[in-house]
Amino acid sequence: MLFTVIMKIKAIKTSFSFLFFVLILSCSGIENDKFSERVKISFREVGNQLLLSNQDSTSLILPVIALKQSKYRLSFQEELSFEPSNLVSLIQTNFKKANLPRHYLVEVIQCADNEVAYSYEMSIDEENTIIPCISRDLPLNCYHIEVRFTKRVASLISGKTILYIGVLIGAVLLVFFAYRREKTLKNKTPNKDYIKIGSFQFYENENKLIKEAIEIALSKKECELLAIFVANPNQIITRDELTKRVWEDNGVIVGRSLDTFISKLRKKLSADNSINIENVHGVGYKLVVINK
Protein backbone atom coordinates (compact mmCIF):
# COMPACT_ATOMS: atom_id res chain seq x y z
CA MET A 1 0.00 0.00 0.00
CA LEU A 2 2.71 2.47 1.07
CA PHE A 3 4.91 1.39 -1.84
CA THR A 4 2.03 2.03 -4.29
CA VAL A 5 1.40 5.51 -2.88
CA ILE A 6 5.11 6.38 -3.09
CA MET A 7 5.28 5.16 -6.68
CA LYS A 8 2.19 7.24 -7.58
CA ILE A 9 3.74 10.35 -6.06
CA LYS A 10 7.01 9.72 -7.89
CA ALA A 11 5.15 9.18 -11.16
CA ILE A 12 3.23 12.45 -10.73
CA LYS A 13 6.44 14.35 -9.91
CA THR A 14 8.30 12.83 -12.86
CA SER A 15 5.45 13.55 -15.28
CA PHE A 16 5.09 17.18 -14.25
CA SER A 17 8.85 17.73 -14.12
CA PHE A 18 9.05 16.47 -17.70
CA LEU A 19 6.03 18.59 -18.73
CA PHE A 20 7.51 21.67 -17.04
CA PHE A 21 10.87 21.07 -18.75
CA VAL A 22 9.22 20.65 -22.19
CA LEU A 23 7.03 23.72 -21.66
CA ILE A 24 9.94 25.90 -20.58
CA LEU A 25 11.98 24.70 -23.56
CA SER A 26 9.13 25.40 -25.96
CA CYS A 27 8.47 28.82 -24.42
CA SER A 28 12.18 29.65 -24.51
CA GLY A 29 12.38 28.49 -28.12
CA ILE A 30 9.42 30.66 -29.15
CA GLU A 31 10.76 33.68 -27.25
CA ASN A 32 14.25 33.19 -28.71
CA ASP A 33 12.81 33.12 -32.23
CA LYS A 34 10.79 36.30 -31.62
CA PHE A 35 13.74 37.98 -29.96
CA SER A 36 16.00 37.16 -32.88
CA GLU A 37 13.44 38.53 -35.36
CA ARG A 38 13.10 41.79 -33.41
CA VAL A 39 16.87 42.21 -33.22
CA LYS A 40 17.32 41.64 -36.97
CA ILE A 41 14.55 44.08 -37.93
CA SER A 42 15.78 46.73 -35.51
CA PHE A 43 19.45 46.25 -36.45
CA ARG A 44 18.62 46.43 -40.14
CA GLU A 45 16.85 49.74 -39.58
CA VAL A 46 20.02 51.01 -37.86
CA GLY A 47 21.95 50.09 -41.02
CA ASN A 48 19.40 51.80 -43.24
CA GLN A 49 19.62 55.04 -41.26
CA LEU A 50 23.43 54.89 -41.27
CA LEU A 51 23.44 54.65 -45.08
CA LEU A 52 20.95 57.52 -45.37
CA SER A 53 23.20 59.64 -43.17
CA ASN A 54 25.94 58.90 -45.77
CA GLN A 55 23.60 60.10 -48.53
CA ASP A 56 23.43 56.49 -49.76
CA SER A 57 19.95 55.31 -50.69
CA THR A 58 20.87 52.67 -53.27
CA SER A 59 23.49 50.26 -51.87
CA LEU A 60 22.29 47.14 -50.09
CA ILE A 61 22.28 46.19 -46.44
CA LEU A 62 23.34 42.56 -46.24
CA PRO A 63 21.22 40.10 -44.20
CA VAL A 64 21.71 40.44 -40.44
CA ILE A 65 23.42 37.28 -39.20
CA ALA A 66 23.00 35.64 -35.79
CA LEU A 67 26.58 34.64 -34.98
CA LYS A 68 25.62 32.83 -31.78
CA GLN A 69 23.13 33.20 -28.98
CA SER A 70 22.56 36.92 -28.25
CA LYS A 71 25.18 38.07 -30.80
CA TYR A 72 24.35 39.56 -34.24
CA ARG A 73 26.25 41.05 -37.18
CA LEU A 74 25.20 43.87 -39.52
CA SER A 75 27.11 44.18 -42.85
CA PHE A 76 26.94 46.44 -45.90
CA GLN A 77 27.42 46.04 -49.63
CA GLU A 78 29.54 49.19 -49.93
CA GLU A 79 32.05 51.02 -47.78
CA LEU A 80 30.76 53.72 -45.47
CA SER A 81 31.89 56.35 -43.00
CA PHE A 82 29.98 57.55 -39.91
CA GLU A 83 30.22 59.31 -36.60
CA PRO A 84 30.28 56.97 -33.56
CA SER A 85 27.85 59.31 -31.80
CA ASN A 86 25.37 58.78 -34.64
CA LEU A 87 25.75 54.99 -34.37
CA VAL A 88 25.24 55.10 -30.58
CA SER A 89 22.12 57.22 -30.95
CA LEU A 90 20.60 55.14 -33.75
CA ILE A 91 21.12 51.82 -31.96
CA GLN A 92 19.79 53.18 -28.68
CA THR A 93 16.67 54.64 -30.31
CA ASN A 94 15.83 51.60 -32.45
CA PHE A 95 16.53 49.04 -29.74
CA LYS A 96 14.35 50.95 -27.30
CA LYS A 97 11.55 51.11 -29.87
CA ALA A 98 11.79 47.32 -30.36
CA ASN A 99 11.79 46.77 -26.57
CA LEU A 100 15.19 45.04 -26.69
CA PRO A 101 17.44 44.65 -23.62
CA ARG A 102 19.35 47.75 -22.62
CA HIS A 103 22.53 45.88 -21.72
CA TYR A 104 24.67 45.28 -24.82
CA LEU A 105 28.17 45.57 -26.28
CA VAL A 106 28.71 47.04 -29.75
CA GLU A 107 31.84 46.51 -31.88
CA VAL A 108 32.66 48.05 -35.26
CA ILE A 109 34.99 45.59 -37.01
CA GLN A 110 37.11 46.24 -40.11
CA CYS A 111 36.34 43.70 -42.82
CA ALA A 112 39.92 43.41 -44.06
CA ASP A 113 41.69 42.42 -40.83
CA ASN A 114 38.84 41.86 -38.31
CA GLU A 115 40.34 44.52 -36.05
CA VAL A 116 37.96 46.45 -33.81
CA ALA A 117 37.79 50.03 -35.12
CA TYR A 118 35.37 51.20 -32.44
CA SER A 119 33.42 49.70 -29.55
CA TYR A 120 31.29 50.71 -26.61
CA GLU A 121 29.17 49.13 -23.88
CA MET A 122 25.66 50.22 -22.96
CA SER A 123 24.02 49.57 -19.60
CA ILE A 124 21.00 50.78 -17.64
CA ASP A 125 23.43 51.88 -14.94
CA GLU A 126 25.20 54.98 -16.23
CA GLU A 127 28.38 54.18 -14.33
CA ASN A 128 28.65 50.88 -16.24
CA THR A 129 28.05 52.51 -19.63
CA ILE A 130 31.29 53.05 -21.61
CA ILE A 131 31.10 55.18 -24.79
CA PRO A 132 34.60 56.38 -25.79
CA CYS A 133 35.69 58.81 -28.53
CA ILE A 134 32.25 59.57 -29.97
CA SER A 135 33.50 62.75 -31.68
CA ARG A 136 36.00 61.02 -33.99
CA ASP A 137 34.60 60.01 -37.37
CA LEU A 138 35.36 56.54 -38.68
CA PRO A 139 36.97 56.81 -42.14
CA LEU A 140 35.41 55.36 -45.28
CA ASN A 141 35.93 51.62 -45.07
CA CYS A 142 34.23 48.23 -45.09
CA TYR A 143 32.79 47.56 -41.63
CA HIS A 144 30.82 44.92 -39.82
CA ILE A 145 28.83 46.12 -36.84
CA GLU A 146 28.28 43.47 -34.16
CA VAL A 147 26.09 43.64 -31.11
CA ARG A 148 26.08 41.22 -28.20
CA PHE A 149 23.34 41.38 -25.58
CA THR A 150 24.88 40.84 -22.18
CA LYS A 151 21.58 40.32 -20.30
CA ARG A 152 18.55 38.55 -21.71
CA VAL A 153 16.39 37.83 -18.64
CA ALA A 154 13.88 40.61 -19.19
CA SER A 155 13.34 39.80 -22.85
CA LEU A 156 12.71 36.09 -22.23
CA ILE A 157 10.08 36.58 -19.54
CA SER A 158 7.27 37.72 -21.80
CA GLY A 159 3.57 37.82 -21.07
CA LYS A 160 3.01 34.52 -22.89
CA THR A 161 5.78 32.79 -20.98
CA ILE A 162 4.29 33.94 -17.69
CA LEU A 163 0.86 32.76 -18.88
CA TYR A 164 2.20 29.31 -19.82
CA ILE A 165 4.00 28.96 -16.50
CA GLY A 166 0.87 30.10 -14.67
CA VAL A 167 -1.25 27.49 -16.48
CA LEU A 168 1.31 24.80 -15.65
CA ILE A 169 1.40 25.76 -11.98
CA GLY A 170 -2.41 25.76 -11.93
CA ALA A 171 -2.51 22.28 -13.44
CA VAL A 172 0.04 21.00 -10.91
CA LEU A 173 -2.00 22.46 -8.05
CA LEU A 174 -5.22 20.92 -9.38
CA VAL A 175 -3.61 17.48 -9.59
CA PHE A 176 -2.05 17.92 -6.15
CA PHE A 177 -5.36 18.87 -4.50
CA ALA A 178 -7.18 16.10 -6.35
CA TYR A 179 -4.62 13.63 -5.06
CA ARG A 180 -4.92 15.00 -1.51
CA ARG A 181 -8.71 14.79 -1.71
CA GLU A 182 -8.57 11.20 -2.92
CA LYS A 183 -6.16 10.33 -0.13
CA THR A 184 -8.40 12.01 2.46
CA LEU A 185 -11.46 10.12 1.21
CA LYS A 186 -9.54 6.85 1.36
CA ASN A 187 -8.52 7.59 4.93
CA LYS A 188 -12.14 8.31 5.86
CA THR A 189 -13.42 5.17 4.14
CA PRO A 190 -13.21 2.11 6.39
CA ASN A 191 -10.56 -0.38 5.35
CA LYS A 192 -12.30 -3.48 3.91
CA ASP A 193 -9.16 -5.60 3.96
CA TYR A 194 -10.21 -7.63 6.99
CA ILE A 195 -11.69 -10.99 7.96
CA LYS A 196 -14.92 -11.13 9.91
CA ILE A 197 -14.75 -13.17 13.12
CA GLY A 198 -18.04 -12.92 15.00
CA SER A 199 -18.38 -9.26 15.88
CA PHE A 200 -14.65 -8.69 15.37
CA GLN A 201 -12.83 -7.41 12.29
CA PHE A 202 -9.43 -9.09 11.99
CA TYR A 203 -6.79 -7.08 10.14
CA GLU A 204 -4.01 -9.59 9.66
CA ASN A 205 -1.66 -7.22 7.82
CA GLU A 206 -2.00 -4.61 10.54
CA ASN A 207 -1.83 -6.96 13.56
CA LYS A 208 -5.09 -5.83 15.11
CA LEU A 209 -8.70 -6.61 15.94
CA ILE A 210 -11.49 -4.05 15.85
CA LYS A 211 -14.81 -4.34 17.62
CA GLU A 212 -17.30 -1.50 17.57
CA ALA A 213 -14.59 1.08 16.79
CA ILE A 214 -12.41 -0.24 19.62
CA GLU A 215 -8.99 -1.30 18.37
CA ILE A 216 -7.24 -4.25 20.03
CA ALA A 217 -3.54 -4.62 19.23
CA LEU A 218 -2.12 -8.08 18.57
CA SER A 219 1.45 -9.20 18.88
CA LYS A 220 3.06 -10.78 15.80
CA LYS A 221 2.73 -14.29 17.22
CA GLU A 222 -0.87 -13.71 18.31
CA CYS A 223 -1.68 -12.49 14.84
CA GLU A 224 0.00 -15.50 13.18
CA LEU A 225 -1.89 -17.94 15.42
CA LEU A 226 -5.25 -16.23 14.85
CA ALA A 227 -4.68 -16.23 11.10
CA ILE A 228 -4.24 -20.03 11.19
CA PHE A 229 -7.43 -20.47 13.22
CA VAL A 230 -9.43 -18.11 10.99
CA ALA A 231 -8.33 -20.03 7.90
CA ASN A 232 -9.60 -23.26 9.52
CA PRO A 233 -12.71 -22.38 11.59
CA ASN A 234 -14.26 -25.14 13.70
CA GLN A 235 -11.40 -27.47 12.80
CA ILE A 236 -8.89 -29.03 15.16
CA ILE A 237 -5.34 -27.84 14.62
CA THR A 238 -2.69 -29.84 16.39
CA ARG A 239 -0.18 -28.38 18.78
CA ASP A 240 2.63 -29.66 16.58
CA GLU A 241 1.28 -27.86 13.51
CA LEU A 242 0.78 -24.59 15.37
CA THR A 243 4.21 -24.78 16.96
CA LYS A 244 5.89 -25.65 13.67
CA ARG A 245 4.19 -22.92 11.63
CA VAL A 246 4.54 -20.12 14.15
CA TRP A 247 7.83 -20.96 15.86
CA GLU A 248 9.87 -23.82 14.43
CA ASP A 249 9.67 -22.55 10.82
CA ASN A 250 11.43 -19.46 12.11
CA GLY A 251 14.14 -21.52 13.77
CA VAL A 252 12.73 -21.10 17.29
CA ILE A 253 11.58 -24.05 19.44
CA VAL A 254 9.40 -23.27 22.47
CA GLY A 255 7.90 -25.12 25.39
CA ARG A 256 4.82 -23.53 26.96
CA SER A 257 4.81 -20.41 24.75
CA LEU A 258 1.91 -21.75 22.66
CA ASP A 259 -0.37 -22.09 25.70
CA THR A 260 0.58 -18.58 26.85
CA PHE A 261 -0.31 -16.98 23.50
CA ILE A 262 -3.55 -18.99 23.22
CA SER A 263 -4.51 -17.68 26.65
CA LYS A 264 -3.82 -14.09 25.56
CA LEU A 265 -5.89 -14.57 22.39
CA ARG A 266 -8.83 -15.99 24.39
CA LYS A 267 -8.76 -12.94 26.63
CA LYS A 268 -8.80 -10.54 23.68
CA LEU A 269 -11.68 -12.44 22.01
CA SER A 270 -13.69 -12.78 25.21
CA ALA A 271 -15.81 -9.74 24.40
CA ASP A 272 -17.76 -11.89 21.91
CA ASN A 273 -19.23 -15.08 23.39
CA SER A 274 -19.99 -16.45 19.92
CA ILE A 275 -16.33 -17.27 19.36
CA ASN A 276 -13.87 -19.21 21.46
CA ILE A 277 -10.60 -21.07 21.14
CA GLU A 278 -11.27 -24.50 22.66
CA ASN A 279 -8.64 -26.82 24.01
CA VAL A 280 -8.85 -30.35 22.51
CA HIS A 281 -7.12 -32.35 25.23
CA GLY A 282 -3.95 -34.07 24.11
CA VAL A 283 -4.36 -32.93 20.49
CA GLY A 284 -4.47 -29.18 20.05
CA TYR A 285 -6.96 -26.33 19.67
CA LYS A 286 -9.84 -25.25 17.51
CA LEU A 287 -11.56 -21.95 16.86
CA VAL A 288 -15.26 -22.40 17.51
CA VAL A 289 -17.46 -19.86 15.74
CA ILE A 290 -21.18 -19.87 16.41
CA ASN A 291 -23.17 -18.25 13.62
CA LYS A 292 -25.92 -16.06 15.00
**Alpha-carbon torsion, ordered 178, 180, 183, 185, to 10 deg:** -70
Q: Is 109 helix (H, G, I), strand (E, B) or coil?
A: strand
Considering the domain architecture, whether residues 152 and 18 belong to the same structural domain is answered as yes
Domain total in the chain: 2
Considering the domain architecture, whether residues 18 and 152 belong to the same structural domain is answered as yes
> Does residue 97 belong to any structural domain of this protein?
yes
Confidence (pLDDT) at 24: 52
The last residue of one of the domains, among 105, 125, 156, is: 156
How many other C-beta atoms can be found within 10 angstroms of the C-beta atom of residue 143? 23
The CB-based long-range contact list for 185-189 (8 Å cut-off, 24+ gap) reads none
- CATH, residue 278: 1.10.10.10
How far apart (Å, rounded) are the C-alpha atoms in residues 49 and 38?
Answer: 17
Confidence (pLDDT) at 5: 45
Q: Give the DSSP letter of residue 83.
A: -
Pairing of β 71-75 and β 65-68: antiparallel
Closest CA to 150 of 69, 249, 94: 69
Least confident of 13-17, 123-127, 180-184, 222-226: 13-17
Considering the domain architecture, whether residues 60 and 145 belong to the same structural domain is answered as yes
> Does residue 29 belong to any structural domain of this protein?
yes
The last residue of one of the domains, among 106, 125, 156, is: 156
Considering the domain architecture, whether residues 39 and 122 belong to the same structural domain is answered as yes
At 239-253, the pLDDT tens digits run 889 888 888 766 565
- CATH, residue 56: 3.30.980
> Does residue 47 belong to any structural domain of this protein?
yes
Instruction: Note if the pTM is more than 0.85.
Output: no
What residue numbers bound the domain in which 270 lies?
220-289
> Does residue 177 belong to any structural domain of this protein?
no
The last residue of one of the domains, among 132, 156, 180, is: 156
At 63-117, the pLDDT tens digits run 999 998 889 999 999 999 999 999 999 999 999 999 999 899 999 999 999 999 9
Tell me: pLDDT of 27 over 60. no
How far apart (Å, rounded) are the C-alpha atoms in residues 185 and 205?
Answer: 21
> Does residue 27 belong to any structural domain of this protein?
yes
